[in-house]
A and B are shown apart, each in its own frame.
Chain A
Amino acid sequence: MHAGIIFLLVIIGSVLFHIFTPWYWTDIASNWGGMDDTITLTFWVGGGVFVAVCLFMIYCVFRYSHKEDRRAEYKPEDKKLEKILTWATTLGVAALLAPGLIIWNQYVNVPKNAIEVDVMAWQWGWQYRLPGADGKLGTTQVRNIADNNPFGINPDDPFGRDDIMVESDVINLENNRPVKILLRSVDVLHNWYVPQFRAKMDAVPGTVTFYWFEPNKVGEYEVLCAEYCGVGHYAMRGGVEVQDKADYEVWLSEQETFEQLSARYEKLDVDGNKLAKK
């Protein structure tokens, strides 16, 4: 008897907790509202099943608790009931799977007008690269990485010359413009994750991975590393600043290109040689 009451309180408590929880999503700031909707749908269907199963169990505990003079029913199988339950479950599962797959289809198909952002990760930090006027990022190689080439751009690649280097852990993005995040790591796995954008993907050394989103709320966001990457994992933060087009253009124009950076280093070298000669 007491057992049934306690179980009942647990279920009621769970539902109340869900309704009144102060801990819930951060306000969404990207186009992936569909993910939130699917979660809500799964909550209704799944939560409904959870509550129904538990209430049925509790009912049985109240109604059929042991009495010496009573006997349980003897009925090994009920084919019809089993069939109904199987089909109902299959339908429910399919109803949850369908929206999930539809949104995944959007997730893996990047819109054509998306701006590419090269996110480069290492233990433990981030930096970013944007395509220049040609709209294309230059190819890269880990072995090319040096002080005068922090992104390892292939020096012979013409597309790389005008690439915009953001040697900071904060990147600015233009509001309402889709972004294709190209992820790269020079050492171990990382994951560039902004909870408000909902989206994430691992950066894997040796390959380039991607995902996309469209920021739709101006503001500053914190980037978290979401794939364990060693002892500094928890401290591997970065930032995103979503700006309106005008502000973004201003910021963009202040950034250095690969060409400018190379020139700066050549000048440094020349100056250094002069100093050495003196």
Chain B
Amino acid sequence: MSDEYDNNKSYQAQSSEVMDGSTGSVNPDIDYVRPAEVGEQDLYHGHSFIEKWVFCQDAKVIGVQYFLTAVFTGIVGLILSWLMRLQLGFPELAGFMTAEHYYQFVTMHGMIMVVYFLTALFLGGFGNYLIPLMVGARDMVFPYVNMLSFWMFFVAVAVLMASFFVPGGPTGAGWTLYPPQTILEGTPGSGTGILLMLISLSLFVIGFTMGGLNYMITILQARTRGMTLMRMPLTVWGIFTATVLAMLAFPALLVSAIMMTLDKVLQTSFFMPTILKAGEVLEYGGGSPILFQHLFWFFGHPEVYIVALPAFGIVSDLISVHARKNIFGYRMMVWAIVGIGGLSFFVWAHHMYVSGMNPWFGFFFATTTLIIAVPTAMKVYNWILTLWRGNIRINTVMLWCLGFIVTFVNGGITGIFLGNVSVDVPLSDTYFVIAHFHMVMGIAPLMVIMGAVYHWFPLVAGKMLHEGLGKWHFWITFLGAYSIYFPMHYLGFIGVPRRYFEMYDSPYMTSAVGMNEFISIAAFIVGAAQFILVFNIIKTLKTGKKAEQNPWKANSLEWYTSTVPPEHGNFGERLPVVHRWPYDFSVPGAKDDFIPQTTAPSEVIHTEVEKT
């Protein structure tokens, strides 16, 4: 269907040019693939342990390094969420926790999960591992810069974690870091803590830019022969678009971090108006706190899609492979990803309807925000239409995908509440918001990450994760997470504000006590259930059954490497040549229910496969 070749005539015209001898096909004309325009890249193979596993230039190792570091931060974020839930559900058991601690945990949990966990995991982790494999490249185009990218991220994480141990502790300004309170006394960690946060964010952006350049240029320039843009797996499309967004959005974060550092250290007044503290007028004047919010959300909203788009892409591929059916409406899916990415730069102020910005902005940003619901809904329809008339394997991977659909649609619908400016007024800054964004950009992407781990683990480790444990892991996580966040919306309806250390003295909030206890218990269980995966991985690495090559019978190139797990250089002697999209499943007339991307048209000439 997509990206069709002109027609048979043009193939014949081209057939007098260089022929691809490697396919050894019956009818060479229809198998023609344009020759490569540039030679192959030289790779630097590591020789020592340090070069192979520490300062390694292989994107796959870098991907695993990113993954493990991000998971480490994620576990820290998880523990912080437990502590918060302990305070909210059972304050009598959390006597050791002061309001300062609570706000520090809230802040660090938010920042860690959004930036250091989800972003790093999807782009640094999955991006590094999958991009070269899926587009048929031997590695990223700038392997050395790629290595630096990870180590910059590593230093950023180290600086962030160091802030737990400085006097005053980490910043407790909320992950949005809204000035003026962020750098004033009255907010925990307004001394060293906030400085380390700002430095860490700046390092993260620098490191991420190095990686992001690699992802973009590898996808644009290093695809193998025949891998047209419209034959790329949606995983690659998602990661690619997210990277472009990140390259445009992160500078806004960097700029605001630098300005705030100057406000803090040199008493400049980018974001600081005249302020009266404890009877004294401070040495600030004329700055705009709302300017910071605009800059922050100019980064912050695309950031949501930096997390969501790779998840969209990955889940599309997982659903297609395990439903044994082509992804429905591939071109629509690609344009929806690109369209959502583009629109995501025009919706940022929907986080600021009640921020005190000019209220007339509300009309514009409500309209753009609700427009973005259309391509997003199309993606949802196409996922479920891919399931329709499929041949669905209900395995662990598919369960995570189904869980993703439920949580994502749920969180997407509540997004329509919050995006619709006047509906946002009563709900903003309440628990409804917390429930919404955890459902849509916490749990839903997490479902995809988990599905992806179960799906690609056989490729990365060469062994199959245990299915039974995987299903337990899924059901506890899905049911638990759903019962945390679904009822939480109703706390928001009552009007319970977010970021409250305690709140039971208000008459209409006492009814929330029981629910808070329930939510906390669910949170403890869901968190603990994640260690089932850790156990599963350790057990599988030790005693797991060896995976055959391409255990899921997928079509995309990562499963057609010379060895499993793939070695440095990925594809052995010859790079693969691509003849089709990765979604030729269950083609009528074909022997198997899948046709790999490398299969030449002449080999499936008797089937009803469509041109892609």
Contacts and interface: CB of A to CB of B under 8 A. Distances in A.
A3 B356 contact: no
Contacts, number: 329
A26 B490 CA distance: 11
A234 interface: yes
Interface string B99-112: 11001000000000
B326 interface: yes
Given A24-B490, A49-B409, A103-B422, A74 B585 contact: yes
Contacts of A224: 495, 497, 506
Contact of A205 (B273, B406, B512): B273
Given A42-B416, A143-B281, A231-B103, A186 B425 contact: no
Nearest to B288: A206
Given A50-B413, A234-B500, A222 B507 contact: yes
A48 to B, nearest CB: 10
Contact of B323 (A21, A42, A72): A72
Contacts of B178: 189, 227-228
A228 B479 contact: no
B420 interface: yes
Interface string A167-193: 000000000000000010011110101
Most buried by B among A65, A96, A202, A222: A202
Nearest to B106: A228
A122 interface: yes
A230 B189 CA distance: 11
B535 interface: no
Contacts of B491: 23
Interface in B218-258: none
B402 A61 contact: yes
B501 A234 contact: yes
Interface stretch (B21-29, B180-188, B195-203, B450-458): B180-188
A274 interface: no
Interface residues of A, number: 100
A256 B238 CA distance: 63
Contacts of A222: 506-507
A104 B363 contact: yes
B329 A77 contact: yes
Contact of B490 (A21, A71, A100): A21
B143 interface: no
Most buried by B among A191, A199, A205: A205
What band does the interface of chain B fall in when counting residues whose beta carbon is under 8 Å from A?
Answer: 35 or more
Contacts of B416: 42, 46, 93, 96
A202 to B, nearest CB: 4
B588 interface: yes
B276 A187 contact: yes
A100 B350 CA distance: 13
Interface string B386-402: 01111111100001001
Interface in A226-247: 226-234, 237
B268 interface: no
B544 interface: no
Given A49-B413, A85-B378, A204-B355, A233 B391 contact: no
Contacts of A65: 392-394
A72 B390 contact: yes
Contact of B356 (A47, A74, A198, A201): A201
A264 to B, nearest CB: 20
Given A64-B387, A204-B355, A100 B366 contact: yes
Given A67-B391, A97-B367, A3 B425 contact: no
A93 B373 contact: yes
Contacts of A10: 406, 479, 482
Interface string A96-138: 1100110111011000000000000011000000000000000
Contact of A38 (B275, B423, B506, B586): B423
Given A23-B512, A54-B406, 17 more contacts: A35-B425, A57-B387, A64-B389, A75-B328, A76-B610, A82-B381, A89-B374, A100-B422, A105-B363, A183-B356, A187-B180, A195-B426, A204-B355, A226-B428, A226-B497, A229-B181, A234-B503
Shortest Cβ-Cβ A-B pairs, 4 listed: A206-B273, A195-B495, A209-B356, A100-B420
Interface of B: 1-2, 99-100, 103, 172-174, 178, 180-181, 184, 186-188, 273-277, 281, 286-290, 323-326, 328-332, 354-356, 359-360, 362-363, 366-367, 370-371, 373-374, 377-378, 380-382, 384-385, 387-394, 399, 402, 405-406, 409-410, 413-414, 416-417, 420-423, 425-430, 475, 479, 482, 486-487, 490-491, 493-495, 497-503, 506-508, 511-512, 515, 583, 585-588, 593, 608, 610, 612
22 contacts: A14-B486, A23-B487, A23-B493, A46-B414, A64-B323, A64-B391, A71-B391, A72-B586, A73-B586, A74-B588, A75-B326, A77-B328, A108-B359, A191-B354, A193-B429, A195-B426, A200-B429, A204-B356, A226-B429, A230-B184, A231-B172, A233-B501
